[in-house]
């Protein structure tokens, strides 16, 4: 298009590339193939074509048709490089420059990887130091007043204070991202919130990629989804809707768009995942209004609106596909089979379809033949030149790269695809759609799928029969919760407002070293057992000194609350580096459930009995519930999820009964992820909640009335499923409350009667901030305004694994002192 210096081709060809071109020399600009500049020798086709080009032209039909896209990519790095850089920075051991160097290197490697794989539409601005919604809050300058931000570009100090809190103010609320195990920072908005362009991250990362020779698609959280995911700030909850601020945030979006256009962006992606939810008419109208208002700013850009995680309802589909400013629509066709039918029944002429056929939320190899058939059926609907092969959602919800795996055996490894392999799958499908099918690759994929279907290690007939037999009962305990609580109190003799913690205590460097050396066989089993026993003894002593009423053993033997159990259950396998971001720097390594599940041997009884022998106080046996194990694993996709959940429930049931037989009087079965698995569409809620709650009840239906069953839930919105929580029939539930501004208490203010024990969290453990005794006492008094004294427990929001002892001890001291103070006040008032 213009005479300019040439730099190396980004696809790896020997053909140079014009700095200002948005298509490489081997492709077609519009429909006109361009001849090479004089003296340039053609290299091999970078996409694997035979290299034949019409009449000396550089463009060929293969390059023109091969359209592939990735919604987003994991941020942490293949070996959690970002996690360690963040934690080093937070601990004051490294500088902001050191952190940025790690981040810059990670971004460059991700962009290069996708470019080398042949991906055409490569995303930028999907990297984050903490969370993409928090990044949008920073972009809009929507900083709550308590952080004392005075304007200008938001720095790391303000950014991380919003995410994590600091010594003087608490963090913003954190909750689950739709039905995933990722957590986002919830924006706090009010009528008085002022918006200004305060973080230039999107434009900076676009320019950064472009300097590396990669022309990317900048990704922004869409304006309507941002507001629908926001909450009204404290004090205006009942009188204010964040969506009313739409006209106030759009000017900032216009500024961002203008900068991206000026920098040479030709595409922009707006993530609007709330379109898959059940929306009211005024919310749908907001999408129409927003993109109509942005239309002039978007002129000259190709605009992709991306949705994911579920079907797009028919009314939302109609609204979305009628937006004149939008060029392309991205749909999750893995979880959105009904959306596929909507597309086939009517798709706007001249628009692009970004077809999410490769699953971004699981680790199983794609059924390439089936996906190709789906894509070919869509070609006839949208047109060959308007179909783009994509992932169903961002790949941040899956592990990074199978190449790094050393623990998996070859058979199971052949069944899998992590993020890096899914990029290759996307490109392979795009090539096949363009007539360049890699027959060997497709044949290997078909063979792996056949191997998985026929493998004897997948099926256990005895387990399947036991799970099938469960369907004849609702597995409720024989007596009411009030009768059980009376029997338990006679045995446990707990004070009013009993104190406890949620389970884990700090995982020190020394503790991790012991577990690591034991796994590597560098220390003996006796040495390992003695080290863990010593740690348990320390944790028990700390709790007794603090005068906590119901103790925990601290879980020093556990690497993760799901992985620990999966390692001892059949049907599970594990990775060495299959890490997935949960929030901030926190990563989890989900087990892979590949077959039928059973419990060969007791899993926790030895450690629980040891801990109970060290104290006269009640010691909780700590288990992870079946629904949480399911939702925090990569689950087999060859049978319904509820069938796998029932199998896990039977395994946990055996463990519960063995703990009871071993003298453990209080058993906690965590269901932290029960709410997380709730489908996004209300029409699907009842079926999920029925089998999920049933699975929990299966685990403890056989215990005596005097055995107290606890459960725990964290960091989600529980108000809409409170009746299902009651239906779980647990004796005591501990539940996150403090970080969400005591949102949970509102359900009891509205008249819900809860007769079981309940412990709404009194302080946020995901912040290093230490709450005062007065602050905790104030929270407890607010709880007593809506809950009976005889059912209320006092506890933190969640487990203490991620905190340091220097934070834990004073916080728990203040918690216990606050409980004692209020007990004394209650006694005086009698």
Token couple for 560 = 């993760």
What lies within 8 Å, CB to CB, of 509 at 6+ separation is none
Residue 338 is classified by DSSP as H
Handedness of CA 770, 775, 780, 783 (dihedral sign): negative
Beta bridge partners of 268: 303
User: What is the C-alpha separation between 773 and 779, in angstroms, rounded?
Assistant: 10
* Residue whose pair of structure tokens reads 């059973």 in the numeric block: 598
Yes or no: say if 383 and 348 are a contact pair by the CB < 8 Å rule.
no
User: What is the C-alpha separation between 339 and 306, in angstroms, rounded?
Assistant: 13
Beta bridge partners of 389: 68, 355
User: Which listed residue (183, 397, 553, 766) is catalytic?
Assistant: 766
**Where are the strands (E) in 40-81, listed by range?**
none
Closest-CA residue to 331 (of 293, 276, 294, 413): 276
- The SS3 of residue 764 is coil
User: What is the C-alpha separation between 14 and 12, in angstroms, rounded?
Assistant: 7
Yes or no: say if 704 and 743 are a contact pair by the CB < 8 Å rule.
no
User: What is the C-alpha separation between 214 and 577, in angstroms, rounded?
Assistant: 28
Token couple for 760 = 């709404």
Residue 173 is classified by DSSP as P
User: 510 exposed, middle or buried (CB, 10 Å; 0-12, 13-18, 19+)?
Assistant: exposed
Could you give the angle at the alpha carbon of 635 between the alpha carbons of 631 and 638, nearest 5°?
140
Token couple for 479 = 């007596």
Is 766 noted as a catalytic residue in this protein? yes
**Where are the strands (E) in 385-517, listed by range?**
387-391
Active site residues: 766
């Amino acid at each position: 298009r213009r005479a300019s210096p040439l730099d190396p081709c980004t696809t790896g060809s020997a053909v140079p590339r014009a700095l200002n071109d948005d298509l490489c020399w081997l492709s077609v600009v519009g429909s006109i193939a361009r001849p090479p500049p004089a003296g340039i020798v053609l290299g091999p086709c970078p996409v694997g074509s035979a290299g034949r080009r019409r009449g000396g032209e550089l463009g060929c039909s293969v390059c023109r048709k091969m359209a592939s896209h990735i919604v987003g990519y994991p941020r942490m790095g293949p070996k959690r490089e970002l996690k360690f850089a963040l934690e080093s920075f937070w601990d004051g051991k490294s500088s902001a420059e050191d952190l940025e160097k790690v981040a810059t290197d990670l971004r460059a490697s991700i962009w290069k990887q996708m470019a080398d794989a042949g991906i055409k539409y490569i995303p930028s601005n999907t990297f984050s130091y903490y969370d993409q919604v928090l990044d949008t809050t920073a972009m809009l300058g929507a900083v709550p007043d308590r952080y004392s931000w005075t304007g200008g570009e938001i720095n790391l100090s303000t950014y991380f204070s919003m995410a994590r809190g600091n010594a003087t103010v608490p963090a913003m609320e954190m909750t689950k991202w739709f039905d995933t195990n990722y957590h986002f920072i919830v924006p706090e908005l009010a009528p008085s919130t002022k918006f200004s362009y305060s973080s230039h991250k999107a434009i900076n990362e676009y320019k950064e990629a472009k300097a590396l020779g990669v022309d990317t698609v900048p990704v922004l959280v869409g304006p309507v989804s941002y507001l629908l995911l926001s909450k009204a700030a404290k004090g205006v909850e009942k009188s204010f809707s964040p969506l009313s601020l739409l006209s106030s945030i759009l000017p900032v979006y216009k500024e961002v768009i203008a900068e991206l256009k000026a920098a040479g962006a030709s595409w922009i992606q707006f993530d609007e995942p709330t379109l898959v939810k059940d929306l009211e008419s005024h919310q749908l109208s907001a999408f129409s209004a927003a993109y109509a208002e942005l239309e002039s700013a978007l002129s000259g850009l190709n605009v992709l609106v991306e949705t994911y995680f579920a079907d797009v309802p028919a009314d939302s589909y109609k609204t979305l596909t009628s937006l004149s400013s939008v060029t392309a629509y991205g749909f999750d066709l893995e979880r959105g089979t009904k959306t596929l039918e909507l597309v086939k029944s009517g798709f706007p002429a001249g628009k692009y379809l970004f077809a999410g056929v490769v699953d971004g939320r699981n680790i199983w190899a794609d059924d390439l033949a089936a996906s190709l058939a789906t894509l070919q059926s869509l070609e006839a609907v949208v047109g060959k030149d308007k179909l783009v092969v994509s992932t169903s959602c961002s790949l941040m919800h899956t592990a990074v790269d199978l190449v790094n795996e050393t623990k998996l055996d070859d058979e199971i490894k052949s069944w899998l695809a992590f993020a890096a392999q899914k990029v290759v799958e996307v490109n392979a499908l795009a090539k096949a759609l363009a007539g360049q099918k890699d027959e060997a690759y497709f044949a290997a994929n078909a063979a792996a799928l056949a191997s998985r279907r026929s493998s004897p290690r997948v099926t256990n007939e005895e387990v399947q029969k036991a799970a099938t037999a469960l369907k004849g009962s609702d597995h409720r305990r024989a007596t009411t919760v009030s009768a059980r609580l009376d029997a338990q109190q006679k045995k446990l003799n707990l004070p009013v407002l009993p104190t406890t913690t949620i389970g884990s205590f700090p995982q020190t460097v020394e503790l991790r070293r012991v577990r690591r050396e034991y796994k590597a066989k560098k220390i003996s089993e006796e040495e390992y057992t003695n080290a863990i026993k010593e740690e348990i003894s320390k944790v028990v002593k700390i709790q007794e000194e603090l005068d906590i009423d119901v103790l925990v053993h601290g879980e020093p033997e556990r690497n993760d609350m799901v992985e620990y159990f999966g390692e001892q259950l059949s049907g599970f396998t594990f990775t060495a580096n299959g890490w997935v971001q949960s929030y901030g720097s926190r990563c989890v390594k989900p087990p892979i459930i590949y077959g039928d599940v059973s419990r060969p041997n007791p899993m926790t009884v030895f450690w629980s009995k040891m801990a109970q022998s060290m104290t006269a106080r009640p010691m909780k046996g700590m288990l992870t519930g079946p629904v949480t194990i399911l939702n925090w694993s990569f689950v087999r996709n060859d049978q319904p999820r509820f069938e796998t959940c029932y199998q896990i429930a039977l395994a946990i049931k055996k463990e519960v009964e063995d703990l009871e037989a071993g003298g453990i009087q209080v058993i906690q079965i965590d269901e932290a992820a029960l709410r997380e698995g709730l489908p996004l569409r209300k029409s699907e809620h009842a079926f999920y909640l029925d089998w999920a709650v049933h699975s929990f009840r299966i685990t403890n239906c056989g215990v005596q009335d005097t055995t107290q069953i606890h459960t725990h839930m964290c960091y989600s919105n529980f108000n809409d499923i409170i009746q299902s929580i009651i239906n779980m029939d647990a004796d005591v539930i501990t539940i996150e409350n403090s970080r969400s501004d005591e949102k949970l208490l509102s359900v009891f203010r509205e008249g819900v009667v809860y007769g079981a024990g309940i412990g709404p969290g009194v302080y946020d453990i995901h912040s290093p901030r230490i709450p005062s005794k007065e602050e905790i006492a104030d929270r407890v008094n607010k709880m007593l305004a809506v809950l009976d004294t005889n059912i209320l427990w006092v506890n933190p929001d969640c487990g203490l694994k991620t905190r340091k002892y220097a934070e834990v001890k004073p916080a728990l001291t203040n918690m216990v002192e606050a409980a004692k103070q209020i007990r004394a006040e209650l006694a005086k008032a009698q």
